[in-house]
Amino acid sequence: MIIVTGGAGFIGSAIVWQLNQMGRSDIVVVDSLGSSEKWRNLTPLKFADYLEKDDFMQLVIDDQVQDYLNIDEQGIEAIIHMGACSATTELDARYLLHNNFEYTKQLALFAQRCDARFIYASSAATYGDGDSGFRDDEAELDSLRPLNMYGYSKQLFDQWAARQGLLDKIVGLKFFNVFGPNEYHKGDMSSLVIKAYHQILSTGKIGLFRSYRQEYADGEQMRDFVYVKDVVDMALYFLDKPEINGIYNIGSDGANSWNSLAAAIFAALEREVNIEYIDMPEHLKEKYQYYTCSDVSKLRATGYAGRQTSLTAAVRDYVVNYLVPNKHLGD
């Protein structure tokens, strides 16, 4: 049995989809559906059971997970922990600490007790403004300075796991700017691709933030944009490799400008590029990352030789095969 937390969310549901492609349906999805539309991500997918996250955590605390699922002590093969509040604008530190830090600690310890593979989502937000670089080196964890509370909640767990000596037993994944199908429910936290798609349909243009640094022209701020299909390929690479552990960057190993991303979206829609540069909200100016770029050499050094879809090809696949027909992964 594989447990996927956040399994109805963006990356989590994509992981369930990829497991289905691998012939796996012995999956327990854990999430908190609430009143969002993310339940729609689950409808094409195959899995054995669904649990709300609070109910699942109570089972963990009571040591009743195996009994509830009617499996033996060795029945949990892996816990893939993608569940978290991923809003970089969330200001409630108490909520983030409980949801992202404490919850992850409990699951990591539970995974150790039942000898299950534990793969969890860290974040590139832990790198802050990037002045300290983007190296996925556990020895440099304490030098990182996240720019927001979300990033710090992820940083806290990475540091805790290092102090507990767990990083040689578990895998942390630092996701960069992920985009692709199944992010429809994310609202303000969704990628520019889906936002721009709707902007183009309604106005014929895309709005990008102006730059407030001389070294970057408007729209030339850089991001490591990575397609969700590539992300889940990298994440599941670790599933049956218990000898490979630690923290790894999950990105495209390259940076592209917002202008380049916008151009790829217009190209997918076969329209002329039409960009309008807009003022950045004041509350974002001091927390805005002008450049992010993953270094995935550590991942490659383990033997990973998986796909890296080009930005143009990834955007076209997303727009043409999912956004235009309004489809989810698995439809």
Are 279 and 210 spatial neighbours (Cβ–Cβ below 8 Å)? yes
Per-residue pLDDT in tens (0 to 9) along the chain, 331 residues: 999 999 999 999 999 999 999 999 999 999 999 888 999 999 999 999 999 999 999 999 999 999 999 988 789 999 999 998 777 777 788 888 888 999 999 999 999 999 999 999 999 999 988 777 788 989 889 999 998 888 999 999 999 999 999 999 999 999 999 999 999 999 888 999 999 999 999 999 999 999 999 999 999 999 999 999 999 999 999 999 999 999 999 999 789 999 999 999 999 999 999 999 999 988 888 878 888 889 999 999 999 998 789 999 999 999 999 999 999 999 9
Within a domain: 172: yes
The single-letter code of the amino acid at 210 is: R
216 inside domain: no
Give pLDDT, residue 87: 72
Q: Which residues contact 137 (CB under 8 A, 6 or more apart)?
A: 298
Q: Is residue 24 part of a domain?
A: yes
- The per-residue pLDDT for 9 is 96
Q: Which of 38, 154, 174, 186 is catalytic?
A: 186
| Residue 44 domain-assigned (yes or no) | yes
Element (H, E) at 27: strand 27-31
SS3 140: helix
Q: Is residue 149 part of a domain?
A: yes
- For position 89, what pLDDT does the model report? 72
Position 187 scores a pLDDT of 87
Short-list 29, 329, 289, CA closest to 183: 329
Residue-number span of the structural domain to which 147 is assigned: 2-180+225-252+294-308
pLDDT at 90: 76
Total structural domains in the chain?
1
**Which of 314, 294, 209 lies closest to 259, judged by CA?**
209
- Whether 327 sits among the annotated catalytic residues: the reply is no
Q: What is the pLDDT of residue 18?
A: 98
Q: List the catalytic residue out of 120, 150, 318, 322.
A: 150
227: enclosing H helix or E strand: strand 225-227
pTM: 0.94
Is residue 197, in this structure, part of any structural domain at all? no
150 is catalytic: yes
Rounded Cα gap, residues 173 and 162, in angstroms: 14
Give the pairing of strands 117-121 and 78-81. Answer: parallel
Q: 3-state SS of the chain: helix, strand, coil percent to 5?
A: 40, 15, 45
Task: Give 142: exposed, middle or buried? Use CB within 10 Å, 0-12, 13-18, 19+.
Answer: exposed
Q: Is residue 27 part of a domain?
A: yes
Is 272 part of any domain?
no
Q: Catalogue the long-range contacts made by 113-116 (C-beta closer than 8 Å, 24 or more residues apart).
A: 114/65, 114/66, 114/73, 114/74, 114/76, 115/74, 116/3, 116/76, 116/77, 116/78, 116/79
Whole-angstrom distance, CA of residue 216 vs CA of residue 166: 40
Q: What six digits make up the tokens of 196? A: 């721009």
CATH code: domain of residue 172: 3.40.50.720
